[in-house]
Chains A and B, each alone.
Chain A
């Protein structure tokens, strides 16, 4: 069973361009989470999605950032008009459905390192 896949692994964008980060969850997983890791810091939660729905976006910046998880295809984290402060590693995690249990184990992908020049 392949793990969580993220691509690209490295992405370079100039200020003002758009960045699209993709996450394919593990097979059978329908819950996706995005985290951001700034240099020298831990991971910070951004958004939690289920298929076609945003469940919790309390960690998403109010502007320029959006996320989706369509019925078919990977989850996309989109950053419009990138600025230098967006340079970070972006991690995706996925979870399976759980029946009768509240807690969902999160399995992390290898991350995408975004560099804004």
Chain B
């Protein structure tokens, strides 16, 4: 079975600062995908970043980057130059390479303080 754990229910960061959200997962698969989704108050699920486990290079998308440690089964999200619009719930998710379902963590509520 696949499990995703987010151990930080809430976090806050000053505007323009950097924050890192933690995620660990458990799987027996060797190849898979990992994701970070953002859920603002509108509740729309927005894909922030995706990492393919067979790629050693960490994914980056503008101010968002990940630290993927495959051996440790760790997948943290770093948000640089935090903006007020980054305030949201952030969910870490896992998908098998051939799977049809995503496995989500319980989320981290991030507040950016002006």
Query: Which residues of A does B touch, CB under 8 Å?
Result: 31, 33, 35, 40-45, 48, 55-56, 58-59, 89, 91, 93, 102-106, 108, 110-111, 113
Contact B44 A33 (CB under 8 A): no
Q: When A and B form their complex, what is the total count of cross-chain residue pairs whose Cβ atoms lie within 8 Å?
A: 56
Do A106 and B98 contact each other (CB < 8 Å), given the known contacts A42-B91, A91-B45? no
Size of the B side of the interface (Cβ < 8 Å), in residues, is 23
Q: Is B110 an interface residue (CB 8 A)?
A: no
- Cross-chain pairs A/B with CB under 8 angstroms, 22 sampled: A31-B100, A42-B93, A42-B104, A42-B105, A42-B106, A43-B45, A43-B93, A43-B102, A43-B104, A45-B101, A45-B103, A48-B100, A56-B101, A59-B101, A91-B45, A103-B95, A103-B97, A106-B102, A108-B45, A110-B43, A111-B44, A111-B45
Do A41 and B100 contact each other (CB < 8 Å), given the known contacts A103-B95, A108-B44, A110-B43? no
A residues within 8 A CB of B95? Answer: 103
